[in-house]
Amino acid sequence: MAPFILIVEDEADLAIMLRYNLEAEGYRVATVESGDEASLQMREEMPDLILLDWMLPGLSGIELCRRWRTKDETSRVPIIMMTARGEEEERIRGLATGADDYVVKPFSVPELLARVKAHLRRANPSLLSNALKSGDIELDRQTHRVSRSGKEVHLGPTEYRLLEYLMQSPGRVYSREQLLDGVWGHDVYVDERTVDVHVGRLRKAINRGRVKDPIRTVRGAGYAFDEKFAVAS
Ligand code: CA
């Protein structure tokens, strides 16, 4: 699945222009105009990167950045601040609150895109690569082929997306609700038990005759792709 970028920007023209350019690069994009809207969006799906305007109605970008850095679920999401202020002092203040990068308006779009890519890659290298590999499992995003110990594993489209989603962030525990949103999409209404059914099918297909199950069930929480499995194999 393409990386998901959240734009927090109250200037509609700029938000539209950024969205257009990011979508043209293949990213999934959501735009919001304030910190409150950003929080709502994050509850639906956590972004892989945030483009954050400095001057916003309500809480400023600086304050939002500071708050997000102190929360577990947002502490590691790359944040690029966008601001009209170019003073060195402001730049330092922006970075001091935990922003990963800083662009001054008006900025060059190709340069911003390059920075977005660099920060996504740094935060999570598997997000942008075509091949995901963990232990003896390989997943090719271009051909949608999955193999284990060199032998092809046949997966249905949903099981494929589920495995891709889990393999993108090894070790991270996803709730059934998060998996539904990430794999099935927000607009699809299916029961959370559907997740269990497809995880069961995925396990059956990739574990055929093998002892090591890379998918961990976390009681009361959800599922994760096991990092330890990747090292142990
Ligand atoms: Ca603004």
Residue 233: count of CB within 10 angstroms of its CB: 14
CA distances from 207 to 32, 55, 179, 232 (A): 42, 51, 21, 15
Residue 182: count of CB within 10 angstroms of its CB: 20
What's the token pair of residue 30?
Answer: 């959501």
State the distance from the centre of ligand 1 to the C-alpha of 84, rounded, in angstroms. Answer: 9
State the distance from the centre of ligand 1 to the C-alpha of 18, rounded, in angstroms. Answer: 14
State the distance from the centre of ligand 1 to the C-alpha of 192, rounded, in angstroms. Answer: 39
Contact 159, 199 (CB under 8 A): no
Q: Give the Cα separation of 129 and 109 in Å (integer).
A: 22
- Which strands sit side by side in the sheet containing 137-140, from one edge to the other? 131-134, 137-140, 145-148, 151-153
State the distance from the centre of ligand 1 to the C-alpha of 85, rounded, in angstroms. Answer: 11
State the distance from the centre of ligand 1 to the C-alpha of 186, rounded, in angstroms. Answer: 28
**What pLDDT digit, counting tens, does each position of 58-109 carry?**
999 989 999 999 998 899 899 999 987 666 677 777 777 888 998 888 889 9
Q: Mean pLDDT of all residues in the chain?
A: 88
State the distance from the centre of ligand 1 to the C-alpha of 159, rounded, in angstroms. Answer: 42
- Domains located in the chain, CATH noted: 4-127 (3.40.50.2300), 131-232 (1.10.10.10)
Helices (H), the chain: 12-24, 35-44, 61-70, 88-96, 109-123, 157-168, 176-179, 193-207, 227-232
233 pLDDT exceeds 50? no
State the distance from the centre of ligand 1 to the C-alpha of 35, rounded, in angstroms. Answer: 12
Question: Which string of DSSP letters, residue by residue, matches 98-129?
Answer: T-SEEEESS--HHHHHHHHHHHHHHH-GGGT-
State the distance from the centre of ligand 1 to the C-alpha of 9, rounded, in angstroms. Answer: 6
State the distance from the centre of ligand 1 to the C-alpha of 65, rounded, in angstroms. Answer: 15
Q: Give the Cα separation of 48 and 160 in Å (integer).
A: 21
State the distance from the centre of ligand 1 to the C-alpha of 10, rounded, in angstroms. Answer: 5
**What pLDDT digit, counting tens, does each position of 150-206 carry?**
999 999 999 999 999 999 888 889 999 889 888 887 677 788 899 999 999 999 999
State the distance from the centre of ligand 1 to the C-alpha of 53, rounded, in angstroms. Answer: 6
pTM of structure: 0.68
State the distance from the centre of ligand 1 to the C-alpha of 60, rounded, in angstroms. Answer: 9
Lowest mean pLDDT among 11-15, 68-72, 101-105, 209-213: 209-213
